[in-house]
């Protein structure tokens, strides 16, 4: 946001935002599209930032901004592996890496979503996987390939053994949504909340000092699990 504000002010030769309004915003956004060739998403972010500045900070009630020169959305065709290429990649992986890659291919999950799976998110009876707080901060269900069920059961057996050892040593807690952790203090040790793919080492500074470290990919998305929207969906 700060970069947008500074760029907006520079574009209008350092005029104060209080001295400007709809016309200046329209001119700036059109400039982004026609001269800077920014992506449509970048232009939308700039519009949202400026609306927030005027309506929430400066308390200026701006009307709807129309007739903006819109940035063109990318129409590039995504690069997709052929089935043969996928088989070549999978043939070079083994163990847990093969299982994770197979899940990504078979379910359409992102890597961070796969590494964030909890035991309770797997439904073997319906052959479904529940993805929590995925793209657009939405939950969704996706199909679970039947051929991956045996490998997933083996992975869960490994995770359960690790969990039991942790409990015996006074550990065994995982990261929990804040509201649920307060409402159910012991839930962090329950099997259903454990990660399907736990880290192989304990964190030196986990949420409660008693858990296992998240992988780097899971750590990048861990803040999403703290959002109130996610907390309510887990309840």
pLDDT of residue 74: 62
Q: What tens digit of pLDDT does each residue of 54-107 get?
A: 888 999 888 777 767 776 666 677 788 899 999 999 999 999 999 999 999 999
Residue 113's CB is within 10 A of a number of other CB atoms, namely 24
Residue 211, pLDDT > 70, answer: no
Q: In the block, which residue shows the tokens 């307060």? A: 182
> Running DSSP on this structure, what letter comes out for residue 122?
E
Residue 235, pLDDT > 80, answer: no
Torsion angle in degrees (nearest 10) through CA of 198, 96, 79, 32: 20
Q: How many angstroms separate the CA atoms of 207 and 210, rounded?
A: 8
Confidence band (pLDDT; 50, 70, 90) for 5? Answer: confident
Host H or E run for residue 123? strand 122-123
Q: Residue range 203-215: average pLDDT?
A: 50
**pTM confidence score:** 0.59
The answer to whether the Cα torsion of 198, 194, 90, 104 is positive or negative is negative
* Percentage of the chain lying above the pLDDT 70 cut: 82
Q: What tens digit of pLDDT does each residue of 166-181 get?
A: 999 999 899 888 888 8
pLDDT of residue 230: 39
Q: Residue range 212-228: average pLDDT?
A: 43
Burial of 195 (0-12, 13-18, 19+ CB in 10 A): buried
Confidence band (pLDDT; 50, 70, 90) for 36? Answer: confident
pLDDT of residue 79: 84
Q: What tens digit of pLDDT does each residue of 175-198 get?
A: 888 888 899 999 999 999 999 999
Q: How many angstroms separate the CA atoms of 128 and 182, rounded?
A: 29
Q: What tens digit of pLDDT does each residue of 105-147 get?
A: 999 999 999 999 999 999 999 999 999 887 777 899 999 999 9
Residue 203, pLDDT > 80, answer: no
> Per the structure block, which two tokens stand in for 200?
């192989």
Report the mean per-residue pLDDT for the chain: 83
3-state secondary structure string across 126-179:
CCEEEECCCHHHCCEEEECCHHHHHHHHHHHHHHHHHHHHHHHCCCCECCCCHH
- The structural domains of the chain, ordered by start, are 2-57 (1.10.150.130), 77-235 (1.10.443)
pLDDT of residue 63: 77
Residue 221, pLDDT > 70, answer: no
């Amino acid at each position: 946001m700060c970069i947008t504000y500074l760029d907006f002010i520079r574009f209008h030769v350092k005029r104060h935002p209080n001295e400007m309004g709809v016309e200046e915003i329209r001119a700036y956004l059109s400039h982004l599209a026609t001269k800077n060739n920014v992506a449509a998403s970048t232009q939308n972010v700039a519009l949202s930032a400026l609306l927030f500045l005027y309506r929430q900070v400066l308390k200026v009630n701006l009307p709807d901004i129309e007739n903006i020169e819109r940035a063109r959305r990318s129409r590039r065709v995504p690069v997709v592996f052929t089935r043969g290429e996928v088989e070549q990649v999978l043939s070079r992986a083994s163990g847990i890496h093969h299982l994770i890659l197979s899940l990504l291919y078979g379910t359409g999950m992102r890597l961070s979503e796969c590494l964030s799976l909890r035991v309770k998110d797997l439904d073997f009876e319906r052959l479904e996987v529940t993805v929590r707080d995925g793209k657009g901060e939405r939950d969704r269900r996706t199909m679970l390939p039947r051929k991956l069920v045996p490998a997933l059961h083996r992975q869960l057996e490994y995770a359960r053994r690790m969990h039991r050892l942790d409990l015996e040593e006074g550990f065994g807690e995982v990261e929990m949504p804040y509201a649920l952790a307060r409402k159910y203090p012991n839930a962090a040790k329950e099997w259903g909340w454990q990660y399907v793919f736990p880290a192989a080492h304990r964190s030196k500074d986990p949420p409660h000092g008693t858990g296992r470290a998240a992988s780097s990919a899971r750590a990048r998305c861990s803040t999403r699990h703290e959002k109130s929207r996610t907390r309510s969906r887990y309840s």
